[in-house]
Amino acid sequence: MLLDVEDLRVSFGGTEVVHGLSLSVAAGECVAIVGESGSGKSVTARTLLGLTGPGSTVRATAFRVSGRDALAFTQRDWRRLRGKFAGLVLQDALGSLDPLRTVGAEIAEVLAEHDVVPRAGRTGRVLELLEAVGVPEPALRARQHPHQLSGGLRQRALIASAIAADPELIIADEPTTALDVTIQAQILRLLAERKAAGTALLLISHDLAVVASIADRILVMKDGLVVEEGPAADVLAAPAHDYTKALLTAVPSAASRGTRLTTGTPRTRPAINPSTEVLAGTALTRSYGPRRVVDDVTFTLREGETLGIVGESGSGKTTLARLALGLLEPDAGQITLHRRPWSHQREGARRPLRPRIQLISQNPLDSFDPRHTVARLIAEPLRLPRAERGERVLDLLARVGLPPETAARHPRELSGGQRQRVAIARALGPRPDVLVCDEPVSALDVSVQAQVLDLLADIQAEYGTAMLFISHDLGVVHHVADRVLVMKDGLVVEEGDVDEVFIRPRHPYTQALVAAVPRMRVPSL
């Protein structure tokens, strides 16, 4: 065994966060650890590389790395091990890459540190590694710094760095969460090829479809404990533990349409009135310099309807959302809100309609003032007398499932799921007719994602709210949307009923997107 751990326990101060985990990984095998934030997945991954940090205590009955007793390792032993024996891929590429160095220098350091190739051959090897992980124009990207790359490109560069020394073991902690579906498929193929060549893979993920596509064995963690483990096919097809069953039920897909993800029971869908148009765009065009990022796009959104917009990074999805919100003006074409002019208006003329359309973004922490309490954040867009705002804030918190005491807290004191609920409460405050949801659940664990999607469905059913729902996750869009637009390079290449488009795609690009989605057969639980 390359890695063999028995009864691993990890503590910080007097608090034990991993309780008696046993794990082994052999050459050419993929073992996956799944669970939600706080389950102990990432702490386990870091512990296996000696990266638990100061103030931690690691105990185990046995902890062997490539046959050596890791409990006796010095920091120098661990440094020699990282990169050459084991490569680590983290989710947050921006935080993992040195902002002061080019991507090429970052990868070349691994080659130099472990004497993988002679100095003269390092530049060529860097370009080979970037090309292997799907980075376009590798010679250009190698000269760029992390902040000059998109999230997907940064993640691929981080993976190139992790595999640069050809390690025997890759520990990948949520390696594809930030990636578009086609790039995700490319990275999974790369990892599968490494596995087939004999590399061991420890995959940390909350995405059960990703796990199903590559894992041989699965460990399910909850609150620091392994609650279920076994061959991947057995765990996914016939889960024994209620927690595993709940995780599987919460996966959004075509099969989950019309049901509540948290319970699996039917949900109420709003009636859509074809004649009630709330938002529309006609022949919209928007360019940045010579690049046209939205190209002759037309869409209509009706009361109670969800229109999904899908495509890869750079397809124009977010620019279209900003046009719809009136945060950008189209170079050509027009947008109407309730059949009234919305684009090409002075802000004074647009202001009375602003409460009718609200945004729920991917990362509300970036849009919240960290100095403000939750109560102030939610109350800010309310056009109510001061005496009525407090009661309305508490009503909104209850509506999104948060306790009253949340009002006094600050954004950084909340979990990701709680912050997203606050963002929804803030958006609901003005009682909008349209919610523009830009990747609203992509950063959330599967069960929290399920709760938020169910909450949005409840709001839509109760108020008839229309939603423009933007996501790179086709499973999420298939679950929530009535119709869908598929965008590529600023163009709408296909549109229609979500079942028709995703089940019988006509355009080659849509076919490629659908084919790239990781598949899993979710059992009837």
What is the residue-averaged pLDDT of the chain? 91
Inter-residue contact 317 to 487 (CB < 8 Å): yes
Asked if residue 275 is part of any domain, the answer here is no
Q: What is the pLDDT, as a whole number, of residue 81?
A: 87
Q: What is the pLDDT, as a whole number, of residue 92?
A: 67
Among 305-309, 469-473, 487-491, the least confident range: 469-473
Does 33 score more than 80 pLDDT? yes
Q: What is the pLDDT, as a whole number, of residue 441?
A: 87
Query: Are 43 and 26 found together in one domain?
Result: yes
Query: Are 81 and 205 found together in one domain?
Result: yes
Query: Are 454 and 385 found together in one domain?
Result: yes
Query: Are 476 and 499 found together in one domain?
Result: yes
406: left (phi over 0), alpha (psi -120 to 50) or beta: alpha
Mean pLDDT of 153-182: 87
Asked if residue 523 is part of any domain, the answer here is no
Does 525 score more than 50 pLDDT? no
Distances (CA, A) of 492 to 222, 297, 318, 487: 42, 6, 14, 4
pLDDT band at 327 (very low <50, low <70, confident <90, very high): very high
> Which has more confidence, 178 or 352?
352
Asked if residue 287 is part of any domain, the answer here is no
Query: Are 399 and 443 found together in one domain?
Result: yes
Does 17 score more than 70 pLDDT? yes
Among 84-88, 229-233, 318-322, 337-341, the least confident range: 84-88
Does 55 score more than 80 pLDDT? yes
- Which of these three, 186, 214, 249, is where a domain ends? 249
Does 308 score more than 60 pLDDT? yes
Does 103 score more than 70 pLDDT? yes
Query: Are 153 and 203 found together in one domain?
Result: no
Q: What is the pLDDT of residues 176-235, one digit of tens each?
A: 876 788 888 888 888 898 899 999 999 998 788 889 989 999 999 999 999 999 999 999
Q: What is the pLDDT, as a whole number, of residue 84?
A: 85
Query: Are 69 and 157 found together in one domain?
Result: no
> Which has more confidence, 364 or 125?
125
CA atoms of 386 and 289, how far apart (whole Å): 45
Mean pLDDT of 288-310: 95
Query: Are 425 and 494 found together in one domain?
Result: yes
Asked if residue 294 is part of any domain, the answer here is no
Does 14 score more than 70 pLDDT? yes
> Which has more confidence, 8 or 463?
8
**Residue ranges making up the domain that contains 33:** 1-85+170-249
| Cβ atoms within 10 Å, residue 486 | 26
Among 191-200, 262-271, 393-402, 477-486, the least confident range: 262-271
Inter-residue contact 170 to 90 (CB < 8 Å): no
Q: What is the pLDDT, as a whole number, of residue 178?
A: 64
Amino acid letter, 495: E
Asked if residue 481 is part of any domain, the answer here is yes
Query: Are 11 and 81 found together in one domain?
Result: yes
Among 291-295, 383-387, 408-412, the least confident range: 383-387
Does 111 score more than 90 pLDDT? yes
Asked if residue 298 is part of any domain, the answer here is no
Query: Are 62 and 76 found together in one domain?
Result: yes
Question: What's the number of domains the chain is made of?
Answer: 3
Does 520 score more than 80 pLDDT? no
Does 469 score more than 90 pLDDT? yes
Inter-residue contact 166 to 174 (CB < 8 Å): no
Asked if residue 271 is part of any domain, the answer here is no
CA atoms of 405 and 409, how far apart (whole Å): 7
| Cβ atoms within 10 Å, residue 21 | 23
pLDDT band at 132 (very low <50, low <70, confident <90, very high): confident
Mean pLDDT of 473-496: 96
Q: What is the pLDDT of residues 34-49, one digit of tens each?
A: 988 888 998 999 999 9
- Which of these three, 166, 189, 215, is where a domain ends? 166
Inter-residue contact 176 to 3 (CB < 8 Å): no
C-alpha angle 141-315-451 in degrees, rounded to nearest 5: 105
Asked if residue 311 is part of any domain, the answer here is yes
Query: Are 68 and 191 found together in one domain?
Result: yes
Mean pLDDT of 439-462: 87
Query: Are 323 and 469 found together in one domain?
Result: yes
> Which has more confidence, 294 or 190?
294
Q: What is the pLDDT, as a whole number, of residue 83?
A: 84
Give me the CATH number covering residue 366: 3.40.50.300
CA atoms of 143 and 141, how far apart (whole Å): 5
Q: What is the pLDDT, as a whole number, of residue 521?
A: 54
- Which of these three, 134, 166, 198, is where a domain ends? 166
Q: What is the pLDDT, as a whole number, of residue 501?
A: 97
% pLDDT > 90, the chain: 66
